[in-house]
Structure formats: structure tokens, C-alpha cells
Amino acid sequence: MKKLLSLMLVFLLGLTLISCEKEDINLKIMTPLGSPALAQTYMESTLPSLGEHVTYEIDVVVGTDPLVAAFGSGTHDIIYAPTNLGAKLISTGVEYKFAATVVWGNLYLVTTGLDTFTLDDLEGKEIVVFGKNATPDIVLQSVIDSHTYTTPPTYRYVDSANTAQGELLQDPSIIILIAEPLLSVLALPTKIGEMNVIDLQTEWATLTGNTSYPQAGIFVKSSLDEDVVNDYLAQIALSVEETTTNTAGVAQMAVDLEYGLPVSVLTGAIPRSNLMYKNAVDSREALEIYFNYILEFNGALIGGTLPGDDFYFGE
């Protein structure tokens, strides 16, 4: 009888040990090149541990098409994306949650040769705009519509920020909408010389009375272990802090990671990318203000309605 009890205890202990073993997790992470990638550059460079059983790989991509594909196929566990894009795709049924904001706006109006350059100076002017029906267009039109003009500005749309930049290089007297890091490329002494700049993040804050808009954030698979997500987000919070306090060092890391831009551009782009980590719950008020403007502009861009509680990781 004692032998039988001993065997049973050994068997139960074995089951306990097996149940306590943690499953190995390999996270696949995707971020678009630009300000979102800069938010996680320090982590990508230093590769801190997320625990004994967690490994991860990071894909840095160009443009939003790979992000849409990743959301749809579920190939990546963590995706950095424009907040409105994530909201729209989640409304279609993809199994992700919004976990944090890392980019609080990187949009600017640029021209040259003016004594002053404020919203008043846009009276009757044409603005070359990229990102039709996306964040750049929404933010610009919201700011312009809140201002009073006798003859409002008009918009001429181009296919990309790179195209807008190229037009300004050809004719520095025009007004373009641009984003970082391309603004810092234009700021190089060999480009267009003295620039006139309107910071649309400042204008948005004046318009809404709130922090700048949550432009890009982190989306995580709904099925991901919450502890793993929290460990990852903690490292990203540290990464963003390091980026904003050690700009030159992180700029060099981005060069070493072959982001394709020199340190001189990146040291200008980082502070003007308005990188700040806020978790989903703390971002919610600013996000809903931003999304309400989108609903007035074109509700289909976020799925037609404000996301509910289940949109937010941690709610």
C-alpha cells in the first residue's frame, strides 16, 4: 500500500512539473520604417530579454500594405500601425487589440522665402498634400476648417510624401504637407536652405485643447498571453524614453540597423516625431477625440463608429 501511494505521489508530482513548464513563445513583430520604427529602435538594437521562454523577431517594412496584409493573415503577433488603420481593420473582425500609442504626430507644412508662416498666411494658397483620406489629410483639413479664411486654401493631392518633397525641391516657393523624417531631410543645408514651418501638432492641440493626436500605436493579437504583452510594452516604454533622452545614441543605432538615413537627419527627426509612450487606457481620451474628427470627416476610415471597450488592451 505504501509503495502504491509513493508511486501515485511520484506520478502526481510529474504531472505538476509538466503543467508548470512554460510553452516557448516566438513573437513576430512588424513596424513600418519611419517614426514608429524609431520608437522601438533602442529595443531592436539592444534586444532585451522578455523572459526565458520568449524570443522575438522584428520586421521593419516600408508603407502600409505589409501592415494590412499582416493584420489580415495574422502572421505577426505585434504590429505598429496608424491608429485609424488598426481601428478600421479590427472593425472587420481581425483579432487584435490596441495596446499603446508611441507616435503623437509628425506632420508639418513647409515652404520657403516668407517673412511669416502661420495659418493666416495660407489664405488663398494651394497646399500640396499626401495621404488623401488618411491621417495627414484628416489632420490638415481639421486644422484648416477650424480657421477663418476669406478664400480658404485649396489642396492638390500627390501619391506620397516623397513626391511632395520632390516638388518642393523643384520649386521651394510652394507649400507642401510633409512628415518626419522627410522634414529633416529637407532641413539639410544642401537642400532648400531656410525653411518656414507650421507644426500641425501644435495647431491640433490648440484646436482640441488636448495632447496631440495619437497617430501610430501598437496592436497585439487578442490571443497573446497578457504577461508577455505587458513585458513587451514595458521594454517599449523604456525604448521610447531612451530615444527621447539619448537622441544621438539612438540615431546611431538606427544607422547601424540600416534604416537608410544619416545621423544628421535622424537627430532632427526624432524630436519632431513626438515619440511618447502611453498605454491604451491612458491614450483613450485623446484617441476618441481624434476618432470623432475622423467620424465627421469619413467614418468609414475607422469602421463607422467609435471602438468599444474590447478594442483596448487592459480594459
The b-or-e profile of 86-99 (16+ CB within 10 A means b, else e) is bbbbbeeebebbbb
Asked whether 144 and 172 are in contact (CB, 8 A), the reply is no
What is the predicted pLDDT for the residue at 130? 95
- Whether the per-residue pLDDT at 94 is higher than 50: the answer is yes
What is the average pLDDT score of the chain?
91
What is the predicted pLDDT for the residue at 21? 59
Of 61, 26, 25, 31, which is closest to residue 43 (Cα–Cα)?
31
Looking up cell 518633397 gives 165
How many angstroms separate the CA atoms of 81 and 93, rounded? Answer: 17
193-247 tens-digit pLDDT: 789 999 999 999 999 988 889 999 999 999 999 999 999 999 999 999 999 999 9
Asked whether 28 and 220 are in contact (CB, 8 A), the reply is no
Asked whether 44 and 50 are in contact (CB, 8 A), the reply is no
What is the predicted pLDDT for the residue at 103? 97
What is the predicted pLDDT for the residue at 43? 97
**Extended beta strands in 51-149, E state:** 54-61, 78-82, 96-103, 107-111, 126-129
pLDDT confidence tier of residue 191, bands split at 50, 70 and 90: confident
- Whether the per-residue pLDDT at 70 is higher than 90: the answer is yes
- Whether the per-residue pLDDT at 254 is higher than 70: the answer is yes
